[in-house]
């Protein structure tokens, strides 16, 4: 455990890392003190956890997501549940990074237990000659503790996206996968030539669970589908208010979950939390469960100023 803190402290002494950070309370620059905390010029201090992450919240935030949920999510994600989506993202990053030098500075805003960022980091390091400086931010301490335990090669922090501990224009790529956005903050954090990559669910996302939850003859099912289509249009519209849309791809595929993965899948899916216990039990006993993954990946860049 201590090794992780030591490793983080060493990384934080390099300019690549220290230039990335700023105090979330006063925006001052920060320095490492005694290898145990980051301190700004106004003496705001943030501890390096022994697990190897930095805690930036002044008070703990209770989230509805618990450790078991993130452990379940990791199991499902490790099985390749999001593989096509993550491959598409790393190909896009590689494509726009060509001929550029320096480490790719990549932030996962709302990274949860870090599965997606870790996969992207591995893929990018494998496919390109450039180093990857990966940072993951989440408001849940349980999620970040798990992330840093599983991947000691990224910068993990517990922080509020509205008061992120990063300097202006410090990231070349910001990914935001099925997690709330803060577009104003993304604009501040994004480098001039950087991209924001947002992933959001389409109308068919896990539709099998939805039809189990609502009886398919139930009218609330079709109302829900209509609402989802409407939500997607609103998501794209809101995104394009802040960023110039450079590309958008809908990834639609079926994924077969075998028995050992059904329980963690149910545990990680908010939709199932509203199900009756008897129905959940019934699903968990199935030998397999095939679900539809329907996700849209939208890529945006800075809007060019119009005079």
The nearest distance, CB 148 to Zn ion, in angstroms, is 23
- Looking at the Cβ atoms of 112 and 165, the one nearer to Zn ion is 165
Q: How far is the CB of 152 from Zn ion (least distance, A)?
A: 27
Which residue's CB is nearer to Zn ion, number 24 or number 112? Answer: 24
Q: How far is the CB of 43 from Zn ion (least distance, A)?
A: 7
Q: Compare residues 10 and 26 and give the one whose CB is closer to Zn ion.
A: 26
Binder among 13, 14, 29, 42 for Zn ion (CB under 5 A): 42
* 40 belongs to the binding site for Zn ion (CB under 5 A): yes
d(C-alpha 236, C-alpha 204), whole Å: 17
Does 21 sit near Zn ion (CB under 5 A)?
A: no
Round to whole Å and give the CA distance between 261 and 264: 6
Work out how close the CB of 45 gets to Zn ion at its nearest, in angstroms, rounded to a whole number. 9
Q: Which residues contact 60 (CB under 8 A, 6 or more apart)?
A: 141
| Closer residue to Zn ion, CB minimum distance, 20 or 213 | 20
Confirm or reject binding of residue 58 to Zn ion (CB under 5 A).
Answer: no
Q: Is 23 in the site for Zn ion (CB under 5 A)?
A: yes
Nearer to Zn ion by Cβ, of 14 and 58: the residue is 58
Q: Which of 6, 7, 18, 28 binds Zn ion (CB under 5 A)?
A: 28
Contact status: 266 vs Zn ion (CB under 5 A): no
Size of the site for Zn ion (CB under 5 A): 7
SS3 helix, strand, coil % of the chain, rounded to 5? 40, 25, 30
Minimum Å gap between C-beta 190 and Zn ion is: 23
Distance separating alpha carbons of residues 109 and 216, to the nearest angstrom = 35
Helix (H) or strand (E) holding 233: helix 219-242
Nearer to Zn ion by C-beta: 45 or 220? 45
Which of the stretches 15-23, 56-64, 80-88, 215-223 binds Zn ion when contact is defined by CB under 5 A? 15-23
Contacts 24+ apart (CB under 8 A), 262-269: 262/286, 262/288, 262/289, 263/72, 264/71, 264/72, 264/73, 264/75, 264/76, 265/72, 265/76, 265/289, 265/291, 267/68, 267/69, 267/72, 268/69, 268/72, 268/73, 268/76, 269/206, 269/209
Judged by CB under 5 A, does residue 280 bind Zn ion?
Answer: no
Q: Closest CB to Zn ion among 20 and 124?
A: 20
| Residue whose CB is nearest to Zn ion in the complex, by number | 23
26 binds Zn ion (CB under 5 A): yes
* Strand ranges in 11-75 using DSSP code E only, listed in sequence order: 30-33, 37-40, 45-47, 54-55
CA–CA separation, 276 and 234 (whole Å):
31
Q: Whose CA is closest to 109, among 50, 28, 163?
A: 163
The residue among 57 and 251 lying less far from Zn ion, judged by its C-beta, is: 57
- DSSP string of 149-212? HH-TTSEEEE--GGG-SB-TT-EEEEEEESS---HHHHHHHEEEEEEEEEEEE-TTTTHHHHHH
Q: Looking at 6, 7, 44, 149, which residue binds Zn ion (CB under 5 A)?
A: 44
Query: Which chain residues interact with Zn ion by CB under 5 A?
Result: 23, 25-26, 28, 40, 42, 44
């Amino acid at each position: 455990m201590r090794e992780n803190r030591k490793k983080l402290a060493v990384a934080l002494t390099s300019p690549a890392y220290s230039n990335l950070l700023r105090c979330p309370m006063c925006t001052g620059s920060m320095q490492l003190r005694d290898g145990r905390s980051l301190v700004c010029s106004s003496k705001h201090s943030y501890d390096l956890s022994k697990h190897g992450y930095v805690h930036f919240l002044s008070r703990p935030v209770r989230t509805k997501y618990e450790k078991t949920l993130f452990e379940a999510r990791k199991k499902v994600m490790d099985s390749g549940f999001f593989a096509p989506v993550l491959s598409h993202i790393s190909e896009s990053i590689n494509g726009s990074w060509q001929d550029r030098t320096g480490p790719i500075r990549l932030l996962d805003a709302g990274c949860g237990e870090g599965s997606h960022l870790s996969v992207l980091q591995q893929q990018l390091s494998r496919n390109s000659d450039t180093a990857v400086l990966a940072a993951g931010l989440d408001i849940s301490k349980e999620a970040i503790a798990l992330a840093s335990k599983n991947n000691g090669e990224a910068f993990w922090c517990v922080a509020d996206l509205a008061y992120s501990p990063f300097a202006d224009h410090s990231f070349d790529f910001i990914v935001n996968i099925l997690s709330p956005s803060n577009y104003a903050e993304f604009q501040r954090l994004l480098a001039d030539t950087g991209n924001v990559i947002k992933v959001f669910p389409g109308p068919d996302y896990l539709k099998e669970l939805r039809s189990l939850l609502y009886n398919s003859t139930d009218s609330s099912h079709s109302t829900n589908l209509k609402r989802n289509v409407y939500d997607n249009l609103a998501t794209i519209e809101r995104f394009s208010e802040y960023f110039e849309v450079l590309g958008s791809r809908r990834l639609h595929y079926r994924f077969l979950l075998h028995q050992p993965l059904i329980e963690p899948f149910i545990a990680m899916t908010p939709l199932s939390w509203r199900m009756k216990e008897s129905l959940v039990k019934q699903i968990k006993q199935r030998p397999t469960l095939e679900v539809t993954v329907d996700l849209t990946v939208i890529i945006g860049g800075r809007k060019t100023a119009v005079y």
